[in-house]
Amino acid sequence: MKNKKYAILLVEDEENLQEALKLNMELEGYEVTCCSNGQEALDKTDREHFDLIVLDVMLPEIDGITVCETIRLKGLKTPILILSARNTSADRIAGLKKGADDYLTKPFNLEELLLRIENLIRKNEMIQSKSDLTDVFIFGKNKIDFAGLIATTFRGDSIRLSKKESMLLRLLIENRNEAVTREKILQTVWGYNVYPTTRTIDNFILNFRKYFEKNPRQPIYFESIRGIGYKFNLMP
């Protein structure tokens, strides 16, 4: 993975810790940009591309949780790893709700931090490599126009898709032939600030089966994976 020079934004106001982390990340082959307050972090994410953001919570001007939320509201999908001295479950949940991908409490093991960084970057690379859908996707005799939010079924019927339906379809198709967890669906389609009921997600899948499956009771494309989530099967 280190053949490419990955860029990390390190947001940490404790000078000694910032220097130590920067040094160790650079020794691992990363290109590290540092800043010490929340506003500067937001300014840098507006101007520069980063493959990962390592974000402290207790920051001057704007706290890390607010920075994380603001980055997500801007539509940036850069992986965010939060570092925090706050170690309660409520603090972790707050960070994840606002869009963080991982949460590590201080004091932490340096090797664990570096492994988490590598895993987040690798995972994001895999997701990006799957994000190869064009505006129009065809499977069987079904067609989905993501740009126009319209689907044409195998019967020839034209269906207007909601934005949430389009987002869920895109997520499942981009991860074709792999199970997508309910947690991933919540994070990607609804966001951590909104918690639809289990039945809400199920109803979306039931609708997809009605639209696109010849026999909705024996689905080919939209498969339920018990205890995990759902999978879109791409037929040969």
**Is 7 in a helix, a strand, or coil?**
strand
Structure tokens at 92: 């972790």
Terminal C-alpha separation, the chain: 31
Helices (H), 74-162: 89-97, 110-130
Q: What angle do CA 126, 167, 143 make, to 5 degrees?
A: 95
pLDDT of residue 130: 57
Domains in the chain, start-ordered, CATH in brackets?
7-130 (3.40.50.2300), 136-232 (1.10.10.10)
Q: Is 233 exposed, middle or buried (0-12, 13-18, 19+ CB in 10 A)?
A: middle
Specify which residues 220 forms β-bridges with: none
Q: List pLDDT tens digits, range 78-104.
A: 999 999 888 788 888 888 888 899 999
Q: List pLDDT tens digits, range 194-222.
A: 556 668 889 999 999 999 999 999 999 99
In whole angstroms, give the CA distance from residue 30 to residue 2. 8
Give the count of beta carbons closer than 10 Å to the beta carbon of residue 121. Answer: 21
Mean pLDDT of the chain: 88
Percent of the chain with pLDDT over 70: 91
Longest alpha-carbon distance in the chain: 65
